[in-house]
């Protein structure tokens, strides 16, 4: 689980911005026993759900992007030292003379241990990299890597807690390029070091940045066979609990047969076009999904999943994300979602997640405030992304003293100027723009559509 992330000079985050996922002293309005909002790891209470709110363009998506870039920096192995790194510095500094490195620090819990990982990089090289084991009252440095820009060499020092043998240290020293992380080196070698393997496993599988719309329900929904049939029962029970009349669904395999007309056309294509066509053919869906609805007849009536509402599809995708987080003990980061789900339905799904989750997290960026009426919503789970007049983003969180638990959370957040979720509306500018637009469009010979047609 992730405890915090700190970002410096990355997209709209200029100064160091730290986002904590540690729970405060908030208590749920209903029993904590069934729907506890946090998980205790190494004596730290980590939130199971965190919601990121902010105006359009405030930086919510860029905050989530930091996780994806960090994952790429740590796990990808580059074959050539000239291969560029993903580097997106703050671009709106008028006093900037030359590019400055970006920095990310992550505190996380994995396999019963608590770690802090730090990386500093630019487009050409990882300039510094440090891994520290965080104990209850002390800390132990595992490795510290630096890039010597004058000698153009990478230097790595290991702490005693690393248990680094000479052979493994030699392999890393001779294999480590300036644009590869220490952790990534073990992926392509036969060496073994438990600390490094644990970190590689965490950075590869510890979290996923997910777009709900990208989830292929035909591929991801379980069927009635194998180990996943129990998941199908749970999904159907959840649908029933939110009042859906879907009582069953089945996955129908689609044959991967290329039509004769297409096969004949392939013969006359160039090799490049033929490869492109075959790649597109391979991307065709493997399954179609048919849902069955109880409408009071003797038999449930079938309906293709494609004909379902977008809200129903979003519900199914969110359930699958929750299952992935819970079953794989990981953090799922969701950008701009839950907007099409009814608040009461979302509340029921969140109850399922909190009740079934032990050591997983959902970090959700959204513009939907309706879920703040949820009786399970914790004030300490809210994070607000704000951007100042200089284009710099920062993150604030609500302390328990900011709002009494008996006050309406949604109304306070939605109507307050403090949290930066309300767009800055200036009516007179809008009115002037309307008048100018009408005058411009009404001018002779200045019609956009008349020029097109």
User: Is there a single domain that holds both residue 356 and residue 257?
Assistant: no
Domain end call among 320, 348, 365: 320
Please state, in angstroms and rounded to a whole number, the distance separating the CA atoms of residues 315 and 238: 10
pLDDT (average), residues 401-413 = 75
Given a cut of 70, whether residue 289 has pLDDT beyond it is: yes
pLDDT (average), residues 160-172 = 90
Q: Is residue 451 included in any domain, yes or no? A: no
Q: Is residue 452 included in any domain, yes or no? A: no
For 241-256, the pLDDT digits (tens) are: 999 999 999 988 877 6
User: Is there a single domain that holds both residue 303 and residue 341?
Assistant: no
Q: What are the Cα distances from residue 48, in Å, to 109, 303, 353, 362, 377?
A: 13, 35, 9, 6, 11
Residue 29 pLDDT: 54
For 316-328, the pLDDT digits (tens) are: 999 999 999 999 9
Residue 162 pLDDT: 92
Residue 441 pLDDT: 76
Which of 341 and 449 is assigned the larger pLDDT?
Answer: 341
pLDDT (average), residues 158-174 = 90
Residue 422 pLDDT: 74
User: Is there a single domain that holds both residue 231 and residue 348?
Assistant: no
**What's the domain count of the chain?**
2
State the CATH number of the domain containing residue 67. Answer: 3.40.50.300
Length of the chain equals 453
Please state, in angstroms and rounded to a whole number, the distance separating the CA atoms of residues 222 and 235: 9
**Helix orientation angle between 229-241 and 343-356, rounded to the nearest 10 degrees:** 140
User: Is there a single domain that holds both residue 350 and residue 369?
Assistant: yes
- Identify the burial level of 57 via C-beta atoms within 10 angstroms of its C-beta, where 0-12 means exposed, 13-18 middle and 19 or more buried: middle
Please state, in angstroms and rounded to a whole number, the distance separating the CA atoms of residues 299 and 240: 17
- Please provide the average confidence, as pLDDT, over all residues in the chain: 88
Residue 25 pLDDT: 84
| Beta carbons of 305 and 288 less than 8 angstroms apart | yes
Contacts 24+ apart (CB under 8 A), 98-104: 99/123, 100/9, 101/9, 101/127, 102/7, 102/8, 102/9, 102/10, 103/6, 103/7, 103/8, 103/9, 103/10, 103/16, 104/5, 104/6, 104/7, 104/8, 104/10, 104/66, 104/69, 104/70
Residue 439 pLDDT: 84
User: Is there a single domain that holds both residue 371 and residue 272?
Assistant: no
Which of these ranges, 267-281, 317-331, 334-348, 426-440, has the smallest mean pLDDT? Answer: 267-281
Which 3-state string (H, E, C) describes 268-331? Answer: CCCHHHHHHHHHHHHCCCCEEEEEEECCCCCCCEEEEHHHCCHHHHHHHHHHHHHHHHHHHCCE
Given a cut of 90, whether residue 112 has pLDDT beyond it is: yes
3 state DSSP class of 390: coil
pLDDT (average), residues 230-240 = 93
Other residues' Cβ atoms within 10 Å of the Cβ of residue 60? 24
User: Is there a single domain that holds both residue 196 and residue 218?
Assistant: no
pLDDT (average), residues 365-374 = 85
Residue 276 pLDDT: 79
Other residues' Cβ atoms within 10 Å of the Cβ of residue 117? 21
- Degrees (nearest 5) of the Cα angle 19, 353, 244? 130
| Beta carbons of 300 and 247 less than 8 angstroms apart | yes
Residue 451 pLDDT: 57
Residue 404 pLDDT: 67
User: Is there a single domain that holds both residue 280 and residue 417?
Assistant: no
For 61-95, the pLDDT digits (tens) are: 999 999 999 999 999 999 899 999 999 999 898 88
User: Is there a single domain that holds both residue 335 and residue 255?
Assistant: no
Which of 56 and 14 is assigned the larger pLDDT?
Answer: 14
| 398 confidence band (pLDDT: 50, 70, 90) | confident
For tokens 């009516």, name the residue: 427
Other residues' Cβ atoms within 10 Å of the Cβ of residue 285? 11
Residue 258 pLDDT: 67
pLDDT (average), residues 191-218 = 93
- Is the pTM for the entire model greater than 0.75? yes
Phi and psi angles of residue 345, each rounded to the nearest 5 degrees, phi first? -65, -45
Please state, in angstroms and rounded to a whole number, the distance separating the CA atoms of residues 362 and 358: 12
Which of these ranges, 155-159, 250-254, 331-335, has the smallest mean pLDDT? Answer: 250-254
Given a cut of 90, whether residue 303 has pLDDT beyond it is: yes
Q: Is residue 453 included in any domain, yes or no? A: no
Please state, in angstroms and rounded to a whole number, the distance separating the CA atoms of residues 362 and 6: 18
3 state DSSP class of 156: strand
| 26 confidence band (pLDDT: 50, 70, 90) | confident
Q: Is residue 243 included in any domain, yes or no? A: yes
Q: Is residue 18 included in any domain, yes or no? A: yes
User: Is there a single domain that holds both residue 86 and residue 194?
Assistant: yes
User: Is there a single domain that holds both residue 173 and residue 68?
Assistant: yes
Q: Is residue 450 included in any domain, yes or no? A: no
Domain end call among 302, 320, 338: 320
Most confident of 18-32, 110-124, 407-421: 110-124
User: Is there a single domain that holds both residue 3 and residue 54?
Assistant: yes
Domain end call among 283, 300, 320: 320
For 246, the domain range is 214-320
Q: Is residue 225 included in any domain, yes or no? A: yes
| 194 confidence band (pLDDT: 50, 70, 90) | very high
Residue 226 pLDDT: 67
For tokens 């509402």, name the residue: 309
User: Is there a single domain that holds both residue 111 and residue 165?
Assistant: yes
Residue 109 pLDDT: 97
Q: Is residue 421 included in any domain, yes or no? A: yes
Q: In this structure, are strands 49-53 and 382-387 parallel, antiparallel, or unpaired?
A: parallel
């Amino acid at each position: 689980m992730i405890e915090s992330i700190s970002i410096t000079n990355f997209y709209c985050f200029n100064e160091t911005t730290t986002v904590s996922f540690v729970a405060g002293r908030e208590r749920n309005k209903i029993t904590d026993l069934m729907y506890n909002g946090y998980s205790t790891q190494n004596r730290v209470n980590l939130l199971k759900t965190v919601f990121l709110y902010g105006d359009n363009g405030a930086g919510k998506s860029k905050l989530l992007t930091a996780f994806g870039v960090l994952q790429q920096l740590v796990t990808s192995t580059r074959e050539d030292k000239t291969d560029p790194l993903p580097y997106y510095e703050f671009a709106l500094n008028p006093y900037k003379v030359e590019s400055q490195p970006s920095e990310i620090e992550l505190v996380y819990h994995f396999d019963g241990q608590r770690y802090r990982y730090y990386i500093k990089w630019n487009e050409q090289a990882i300039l510094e990299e440090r891994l520290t084991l965080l104990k209850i009252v002390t800390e132990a440095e595992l490795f510290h890597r630096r890039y010597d820009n004058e000698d153009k060499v990478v230097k790595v020092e290991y702490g005693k807690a690393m248990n680094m043998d000479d052979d493994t240290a030699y392999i890393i020293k001779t294999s480590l390029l300036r644009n590869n992380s220490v952790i990534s080196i073990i992926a392509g070698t036969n060496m073994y070091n438990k600390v490094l393997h644990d970190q590689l496993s965490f950075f590869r599988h510890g979290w996923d940045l997910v777009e709900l719309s990208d989830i292929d329900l035909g591929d991801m929904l379980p069927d009635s066979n194998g180990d996943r049939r129990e998941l199908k029962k749970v999904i159907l029970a959840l649908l029933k609990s939110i009042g859906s009349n879907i009582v069953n669904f089945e996955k129908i395999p689609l044959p991967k047969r290329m039509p004769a007309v297409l096969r004949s056309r392939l013969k006359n294509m160039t090799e490049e076009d033929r490869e492109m066509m075959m790649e597109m053919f391979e991307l065709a869906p493997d399954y179609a999904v048919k849902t069955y609805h109880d409408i009071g007849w003797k038999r449930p009536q079938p309906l293709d999943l494609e004909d379902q509402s977008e809200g129903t599809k979003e519900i199914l995708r969110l359930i699958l994300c929750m299952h992935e987080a819970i079953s794989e003990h990981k953090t799922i980061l969701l950008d701009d979602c839950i907007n099409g789900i009814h608040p009461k339905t979302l509340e029921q799904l969140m109850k399922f997640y909190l009740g079934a989750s032990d050591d997983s997290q959902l970090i959700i960026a959204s513009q939907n405030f309706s879920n703040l009426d949820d009786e399970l919503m914790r004030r300490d789970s809210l994070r607000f992304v704000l951007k100042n007049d200089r284009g710099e983003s920062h993150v604030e969180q609500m302390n328990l003293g900011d709002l009494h638990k008996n006050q309406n959370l949604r109304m306070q957040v939605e109507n307050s100027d403090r949290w930066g979720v309300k767009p800055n509306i200036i009516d007179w500018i809008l009115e002037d723009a309307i008048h100018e637009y009408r005058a411009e469009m009404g001018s002779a010979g200045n019609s956009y559509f008349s020029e097109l047609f």
